[in-house]
Amino acid sequence: MAERLGFGIDIGGTGMKAAIVDLDSGELRSKRLRIDTPRPSHSDAMAEVVVKLVRSHNWTGPVGCAFPAVIRRGYVRSAANIDTSWVGVDADALFSAATGQPATMINDADAAGLAEMRFGVGQGRSGVVLMLTFGTGIGSGLFLDGMLVPNTEFGHVELDGVAAETRAAASARKREGLSWTEWSGRVEQYLRYMEMLLSPELIIIGGGASKSPEKWLPNIDIATEVVPAEMANNSGIIGAALL
């Protein structure tokens, strides 16, 4: 039986990553390629990088794109960690025209959650499952009995008078020179707040911070089960390819 393949691009605040994905196993079928996110991150510059990622893999066919914003029917509706000029852009149409392939957009944390629910630690889990990605910001994907509730954006809830991601994103640890212990204290405070709001059965941690869970996850002590993403930092690519 022939492999069913898809192509996923994970667009982040600092890097844009892509690979060909086996849609039946979730495994990457090509080398993951990463290109720095352009500065400024306006639409034309990012479209050029998307074209490079597609062409570098000699890919023809549908392209799934995970994007750090609220996405509704292909339109970008927020811009927390990208250039504000993106708001209102029909990104599906933009990337489809640029690549010559049909492109579909999805919020990046929603994409990561789809991958984990299909292939990773969320398989078979019922009830409320919360996916959180700690990177440039904090992304969130919310699932109820395996069904996605899109565009939750829980990284922007207020903690200590500011958006939670300004204090607890992985970028905050590097920016402020925090130790893993100091940073994990902030993450625990944030997770307790999410626990209070949602009473989830499971919290899955993805994004860049999921590459080194042993450095900080043992410090987290809350009632809810908290586990690192099984797909690690590839979950956004895999979830995007599932589109």
The single residue listed with the structure tokens 């994970």 is: 10
Tokens of 11: 């667009």
Distance CA 9, CA 17 (A): 6
Where are the extended beta strands (E) located within the chain?
Answer: 5-11, 15-22, 33-36, 63-67, 71-72, 75-76, 103-107, 128-134, 138-144, 147-149, 158-159, 162-163, 202-206, 225-228
Confidence check: pLDDT of 240 > 80: yes
Q: How many CB atoms lie within 10 A of CB 219?
A: 14
Domain covering 5-109+237-242: architecture: 2-Layer Sandwich (3.30)
Q: What pLDDT, on a 0 to 100 scale, did the predictor assign at position 1?
A: 63
- Average pLDDT over every residue of 85-113: 97
- Average pLDDT over every residue of 5-15: 92
Strand 5-11 and strand 103-107: the pairing is unpaired
Question: Where are the CATH 3.30.420.40 domain residues in the chain?
Answer: 5-109+237-242, 124-229
- Percentage of the chain exceeding pLDDT 70: 100
- Average pLDDT over every residue of 19-37: 97
Q: What pLDDT, on a 0 to 100 scale, did the predictor assign at position 138?
A: 94
Q: What pLDDT, on a 0 to 100 scale, did the predictor assign at position 130?
A: 98
Does this model's pTM top 0.85? My answer is yes
Distance CA 84, CA 86 (A): 5
Q: What pLDDT, on a 0 to 100 scale, did the predictor assign at position 91?
A: 97
Confidence check: pLDDT of 46 > 80: yes
Domain covering 124-229: architecture: 2-Layer Sandwich (3.30)
